[in-house]
Amino acid sequence: MDRRKQPDHKEILAAVAEYRRRGWHPTPLAGKNPAIGGVGWQERDHSDEEFAPGTNVGVILADGLVDVDLDAAEARLAAPHLVPHTDARFGRPSSPCAHWIYKTDETFITRQFSDPVITAETTTKRMLVELRAGNRTHQTMFPASVHPSTGEVLAWVDNGEPSIVPVKDLITAVSEVAAASLLGRYWPKGQRHSAALALAGGLANSGWLEDDVIRFIAAVCAAAKDEEVADRMRAVRDTFGKIGRSDNATGWPTLGKLLGDGSAIVEKVLEWLRREADPPEVRIREAAQPPVPRSELIVLWGHEVAEEPLVFVWKPYLPLGKLIHFGGASSQAKSPVTIDLAARISVGAPFPDGTPNHMGPKSVILLNIEDGFPDTILPRYRIAGGDKTKLCYVQGTRLNGNDPGSLVERGVALDRDFRLLANKARSITDLGLMVIDPITNYLGGLKMNDEGEVRSVLTPLAKLAAELNVVVITVGHFNRRERGTDPLHRIMGAAAFTGVARSVYAFGPDPEDKSKFAHVMTTVRGAVGEGPSLRYKTELISENRPDGPPLDIVKVVWTGTSDATAEDSVDPPSAQEKSHESAAADLLREIVRDGPKPAKECQAELNSEGFDPQKLNMCRVRRLADVVTKKLEGDRCYSWGIQGSFT
């Protein structure tokens, strides 16, 4: 944004014309003062002649137009986690997203939220946030104006249409921003884990659900620039675990003590978070009392729910409204495959096996920080036939720092930024696909091997896929476990990566082709059984450019189906290994010919004949022998037997 002291008068008039075109009512300002518009300035339209050189441009908040004015830095940091998405945001260079513009369904009285501790004599900003009403009683200084205190020029960050939000929802969201920013301002250093426990307990005992508490405390962490978000989320889960066991949890009194002389802060937070429909005993519940769980089971009776078929974007590989996981070594071209699929979805092209795309052209959200967007992703997408107007690439997040003029850019962290990503997805009305590649780059402070922490990110992703009826693909790598391990257990990280996903696919070298650029996509777990494995190659295409060096682009070429299995993808066999495994399978079939035998006994017999089970891929050997493993009733160990031989 430009820091010029004075915009050109033509720019002022152009802005006035643009605001009129959008159905808004511009008014001239002397600095921030609308009085130069004369008595009754709120009630009439103003001519171009009234916008003399040197005047600023205000817009009268009328016809439901509303301004969420984020005065304090803490409020600007908290807002993205709590307020609804809108495509109309502006500010000045030192606070670019200070104003979020909405349209509402009814009028209301302007609400102001200020710090109860700060006095007029202190330098800290007392006003946290204002919800400025759209009933012609107020105006807001809009872009093309010069801020009278700093000389900075106001400019749009997102110059689109304001989102239409019910008044009740907007009041609730802005009240939460005020509460989160106030808590963030006084978030106690050195005691933040305890503060998170107390805040979670207080909110839980005030009737909040766990997901809402997680969202709110994430906003508090953002406002406080608290980087240990994962620890604070654990504090929430621990608190709700205690409540579920009917154990005592700390709450509002403890939080007040941790905030120092925090009684005024806690009292104001409770006032702002009070829900009109809540009875008094629920609005403020002393944490000294035994916690009372507020959650309840969600129960569906079978006879009350209509059956629905599983719908596919690409049958049987990509079920609609589901989370999918792609796993494989880094050399197996998983990223080019995701870009190829994204390109097909963006134009409604057939899928790699020739299946028609009945969904039609859809937009795609892509998160891939490991490949450059202009030099790698975009050329691959274009050469695969993708529509660039349908590709939304998420590069990172941007937020205001606490120091004037500071602007911080950072990567996306789903433990902190999921709400931002979900809101962006909801704003794209024709969204068909979201790709997160690799998912481990976007976990933020969460540990990739921690089952609970990973599920706390993947479960909301799966719910988002279902809510928007889109496909969400996460991409991961293989771990280094020993050969013969079940393919599901070769996916790097927590079991949740494969447990939460509806379908899981493994990518490995094509066993029918010696080229290192030949690969195969196999099914580890399908939504409705297994589709044929699909072969593909990567080709390097060099494009000459008149204004620079050639552009080298990797293209995916699909070459048909394959008999390869997921075991082949995770442990690709050599020709010698194939022969050895085939002979072992013949012997295993002979061993269990007369009926199932204990697995250890089968392995011992194989070993006595020169087939060491420790060096074989036993999953593949059993598959070749048509042998399954099962624990019989009363047995302590598993047995192996030919398919159908167990009674």
Contacts of residue 449, defined as CB under 8 A and 6 or more positions apart, other chains included, come to: 493, 494
Q: Please name the residues in contact with 428: beta carbons below 8 A apart, sequence gap of 6 or more.
A: 363, 365, 392
The span from the CA of 525 to the CA of 92, in Å, is 51
Give the separation between CA 139 and CA 65, rounded to whole angstroms: 10
Say which CATH topology domain 573-642 has: Arc Repressor Mutant, subunit A (1.10.10)
Q: What mean pLDDT do residues 507-528 have?
A: 89
Read off the pLDDT band of 279 (50, 70, 90).
very low
CA distance 59 to 24: 7
Q: Tokens 């704003």: give the residue.
A: 427
Distance between CA atoms of 14 and 335, rounded to whole angstroms?
45
pLDDT at 278: 39
Question: Which has the closest alpha carbon to 29: 17, 16, 11?
Answer: 16
Query: Which element (helix H / strand E) includes 21?
Result: helix 9-21
With a CB cutoff of 8 Å and minimum separation 6, the contacts of 636 are none
Task: Write the CB contacts of 400 (distance below 8 Å, at least 6 apart in sequence).
Answer: 73, 76, 77, 95, 96, 97, 406, 407, 408
Closest CA to 80 of 104, 102, 100, 101: 100
Q: Are 36 and 30 a contacting pair, CB within 8 Å? A: yes
Give the range among 88-102, 276-290, 557-571, 589-603 with minimum mean pLDDT: 276-290
Cα–Cα distance for residue pair 248/257, rounded to 1 Å: 18
Q: Please state which of the ranges 114-128, 132-146, 258-272, 285-299 shows the lowest mean pLDDT.
A: 285-299
Query: Mean pLDDT, to the nearest integer, of 324-328?
Result: 94
pLDDT higher at 620 or 2:
620
pLDDT for the residue numbered 4: 46
* Residue 150, amino acid: T
* pLDDT value of residue 484: 59
The reported pLDDT for the residue numbered 282 is: 34
Q: Which fold has domain 319-508?
A: Rossmann fold (3.40.50)
Within 10 Å of residue 296's Cβ, how many Cβ atoms? 7
Beta partners for 542? 552
On the question of pLDDT at 289 being above 70, the answer is no
For residue 280, is pLDDT > 90? Answer: no
**Strand (E) positions, 490-582?**
503-509, 518-525, 533-545, 548-562
Is the pLDDT at 268 greater than 60? The verdict is: yes
| Spatial separation of the C-alpha atoms in residues 506 and 630, rounded to whole Å | 25
Span 473-487, average pLDDT: 79
Looking at residue 363, what is its pLDDT? 97
User: By C-alpha distance, which of 357, 381, 433 is closest to 555?
Assistant: 381
Q: Which two tokens stand for residue 271?
A: 């006032």
CATH architecture assignment, domain 9-175: 2-Layer Sandwich (3.30)
What confidence category does residue 276 fall into, taking pLDDT thresholds of 50, 70 and 90?
very low
What average pLDDT does this structure show over 118-127? Answer: 65
DSSP assignment of 571-631, as one string? SPPPHHHHHHHHHHHHHHHHHTTTS-EEHHHHHHHHHHTT--TTTS-HHHHHHHHTEEEEP
> Residue 73 and residue 89: Cα distance in Å, rounded?
15
Structural Rg of the chain based on CA atoms: 30
**Chain segment 183-195, per-residue pLDDT in tens:** 999 999 999 999 9
Where in the chain are the domains? 9-175, 186-283, 319-508, 573-642
Report CA-CA distances (Å) from 57 to 9, 17, 52, 147.
11, 11, 10, 11
What's the average model confidence in pLDDT over 546-551? 86
Residue 100 in 3-state DSSP?
strand
Rounded-to-integer distance, Cα 14 and Cα 599, Å: 81
Task: Based on DSSP, count helices (H) and strands (E) in the chain, helices before strands.
Answer: 18, 26
573-642 has the same fold as 9-175: no
CA distance 344 to 342: 5
Distance CA 647, CA 638 (A): 14
Q: For 145-174, what is each residue's pLDDT tens digit? A: 999 888 899 999 999 899 999 888 999 999
Between CA 212 and CA 197 the distance in angstroms is: 15
Tens of pLDDT along 69-108? 999 999 999 999 999 989 999 999 989 899 999 998 787 7
* Residue 287: per-residue pLDDT: 35
> How many CA atoms lie less than 13 Å away from 300 in the CB half-sphere?
5
C-alpha torsion 227→183→409→476, nearest 10: 50
Across residues 471-498, what is the average pLDDT? 83
pLDDT number for residue 124: 59
Q: What is the band of 19 on the pLDDT scale with cuts at 50, 70, 90?
A: very high
Q: What average pLDDT does the structure give for the chain?
A: 87
Q: CA-CA distance, 226 to 228, in Å (whole number)? A: 6
**Between 45 and 349, the higher pLDDT residue:** 349
pLDDT value, residue 283: 35
Q: Are 107 and 137 in contact (CB under 8 A)?
A: no
Distance CA 60, CA 133 (A): 10
**Residue 347 corresponds to which tokens in the numbers above?**
């134009």
Q: Where are the beta strands (DSSP E) in 152-215?
A: 155-159, 163-164
Q: Is the pLDDT of residue 395 over 60?
A: yes
Return d(Cα 270, Cα 183) in angstroms, integer: 11
Query: At which residue do the structure tokens 């103003």 appear?
Result: 46
Please list, in sequence order, all residues whose beta carbon lies within 8 angstroms of the beta carbon of residue 511, skipping any fewer than 6 positions away. Answer: 520, 562, 564, 568, 572, 573, 578
The pairing of beta strand 397-400 with beta strand 533-545: unpaired
Tell me the whole-structure pTM to 2 decimals.
0.57
CA distance 553 to 559: 19
Among 185, 170, 210, which residue's Cα sits nearest to residue 68? 170
Of 500, 559, 490, 167, nearest to 352 by C-alpha is 559
Q: In sequence order, what are the residues at sequence separation of 6 or more whose Cβ sits closer than 8 angstroms to the Cβ of residue 560?
A: 534, 535
